[in-house]
Structure formats: C-alpha cells, structure tokens
Amino acid sequence: MSHPDQPYTHSRPLPPYRGILAVDAKDFTGFPAVQHGPISRAIPELLHAASERAGIAEVWKDRRFPDSTGDGYVFGFDPAVMPFVVHPWLAVLQDVLTEFNTHSAGVVRIRLRASLHIGPLPDTGDEFDGNGTPRNDTHRLLDSRPVKAVLAASSADVTQVAAILSDRCYQDVVAGGYTGRHPDHFIEVPATVEGKTFAQRAWLYVPTPSGSLYDRRVLGDQVIDDQEKPRPDGGSRRRTAGREGAAAPRSKVWADRSNVNNGTVYGGQSVSSIDAGRDHIGGDYVRGDKAGTVHGNQGDTVHGDKHVGDR
C-alpha cells in the first residue's frame, strides 16, 4: 500500500487557493546587529498599518500561516482580496514607509521588496501549513534579480517599495481588470535568481518610481527592441540597448535569460549606460512586443552600479 502523501499514486482534492505576500528589507545585513531585532519587529507593524490605512484590515486580521523571516515577513490570505493588495495597498505601504523613514531621521531606513503570488497551499490550521510550490516561488520572486535591481537603482529618498507579481497573479488580477492599476503600470520581466534553477515570467510594479527606474538595462535586457528608427539623414537604424547596429530577434528580450546578469536594464524610459551614466539616448518611445515594450516618461538617464545585489 502506498503512503497517503506519495505523489502520482491516487487523486486527492487540491488545497485551497491562497494569495501569498512576502516582503524583504533591502540591505538588512548591512545594518548593525543591534538594529536587526527592531527592524524585524517594525516590518509586520508597517504591513499592519498599511492594511488598516488601505481599508483592507481583514487581510492582516485574517492572515494565514504568518511567519517572520528575520529580514522580512510572509503570510497567506483570501485571494479574492488580491486586487486590493495590488492597489491601493502597495501604494499605501509606500506612503507608510516614507513616513517611517522620515521620522526615523536616517537612523533606520526600511525599504521593502514585495512579491505577490496565488496558488494552492495547505491551510488546515496545522503548524506546517502554507508549504508548497507557490510559497517557494513567492520567495524566489522576492529574491529575483529584476526586483532587486529596480529598488537598488531607484532613489532611496523617493522609492520605498518595489513589487514583483507572478504571472498568474498578473493575469488574474491585472490583465483581468480587477485591480485599480492599468496594465501599463507593470513591466514584464524574466525573473531569475542567481545560483538557483528558477526562471519565470513575472511583472514589476513600483508605486512611486524615481530617477531612471524604468530603463530596461537596469534589469538586464541586452536588446530593447529591433524596430527600425529613422535617422536625421533619412536612413534607418535599429535600436539596441546601448549601441546601434544589427539587432537580435525581438523575442530575444525574453528568451535570452542569461542577459539578466549582464548589468543592463528594463523599463519605461530611454536607454543609457548604467556603468557610468553615459551613452544617453533621450526622448525616444520604443515599441515592440510586451516583453520589450517601454512605457512611461522618456529622457531619463540611468546612474548607479550594475552590481545591484543587496545581500
């Protein structure tokens, strides 16, 4: 007789679907050890405050399998509330963190990455509830390069929250029209984690962008688009990330996941060198397939270090 937990041996009901939220503090290990405890305690308090202010107090009150990760927090909730977590909760969390960081006078600055996912997870009241592939993927998304890159490339004085949504969450909640944010607020990215066999399509959302946050080369796109761009002399050229010349196929933006680690960037403004803030190409609106589509204002220049890992 097979063990009841052995897979592929018999059919059984799916666990209930749950929304999953995980957050992680940027540069947590960079704080002195004496501050780790206060930061760990402050994070759930900030999440609670944002839930109250966003008008979805039940998300926090009824949270399932909550767990502190030291530098972050994770819990499950009724997926029917996910549209309100995407908006306005993420934007309210941005406001709550801005106020917290202002009042802390720079002693402790908490900036958060957030990941959102939906999937079946055990939820019976057992102490081991909430474990499963959707939970694992939520944490992988939280640790993925794109969401780390955009938070690292943004202004610490302006942008306090960078979120990444799983494709399932995006398709059900955003593309389905259930949340109060237009799809153009979101950027499709290949989410990968260094040293892990993880690669999924995901979607970035930053409630309060700053600087050149949406330059796609921050996230690692080598090729932005392959459409021809008119030249002043009447000829044409093909637009690539950081150089002009022959372009790769348009599908390369998503297909070549190895480019995530090359120090170039994703986003909705023009392209410039992240290494030294040079080679600026301003004022151009780039069009293409969604994986390489650029939305937002144009003409911003990216500055910063291409080595954007924060752990």
Tell me how far apart the alpha carbons of residues 217 and 223 are, in angstroms, rounded to a whole number. Answer: 9
Q: What percent of the chain has pLDDT over 70?
A: 67
CB-neighbour burial class of residue 257 (10 A; exposed 0-12, middle 13-18, buried 19+):
middle
Q: Is residue 100 within 8 Å of residue 42, measured between CB atoms?
A: yes
What is the arithmetic mean of pLDDT over 141-145?
Answer: 97
In this structure, of 73-77, 186-190, 191-195, 281-285, the range with the lowest mean pLDDT score is 281-285
Find all residues with CB under 8 Å of 241, minimum gap 6, and list them.
Answer: 216, 217, 221, 222, 223, 224, 264, 265, 271
Tell me how far apart the alpha carbons of residues 253 and 121 are, in angstroms, rounded to a whole number. Answer: 33
Q: What is the pLDDT of residue 107?
A: 74
Three-state secondary structure call for residue 218: helix
- Of 26 and 227, the structure prediction assigns the larger pLDDT to 26
Three-state secondary structure call for residue 192: strand
Task: Please enumerate, as own/partner, the contacts of 226-235 that have beta carbons within 8 Å and a separation of 24 or more.
Answer: 226/250, 226/288, 227/286, 227/287, 227/288, 229/284
Pairing type for strands 228-230 and 199-205 reads unpaired
- Domain residue ranges in the chain: 17-205, 211-311
Dump pLDDT digits (tens) for 291-301.
333 333 333 33
CB-neighbour burial class of residue 287 (10 A; exposed 0-12, middle 13-18, buried 19+):
exposed
CB-neighbour burial class of residue 171 (10 A; exposed 0-12, middle 13-18, buried 19+):
middle
Dump pLDDT digits (tens) for 54-65.
999 999 999 999
* Residue 48 predicted with pLDDT over 60: yes
CB-neighbour burial class of residue 184 (10 A; exposed 0-12, middle 13-18, buried 19+):
exposed
* Residue 274 predicted with pLDDT over 50: no
- Of 244 and 216, the structure prediction assigns the larger pLDDT to 216
Which two three-digit tokens encode residue 11?
Answer: 């059919």
What is the arithmetic mean of pLDDT over 99-116?
Answer: 90
Tell me how far apart the alpha carbons of residues 89 and 85 are, in angstroms, rounded to a whole number. Answer: 5
The rounded mean pLDDT for the chain is: 76
At the second CATH level, the architecture of 17-205 is 2-Layer Sandwich (3.30)
Residue with token string 């039940």: 58
Tell me how far apart the alpha carbons of residues 88 and 65 are, in angstroms, rounded to a whole number. Answer: 23
Distances (CA, A) of 296 to 43, 212, 227, 245, 276: 31, 11, 18, 25, 23
Tell me how far apart the alpha carbons of residues 60 and 76 are, in angstroms, rounded to a whole number. Answer: 9
The CA-CA-CA angle for residues 281, 284, 286, to 5°, reads 110
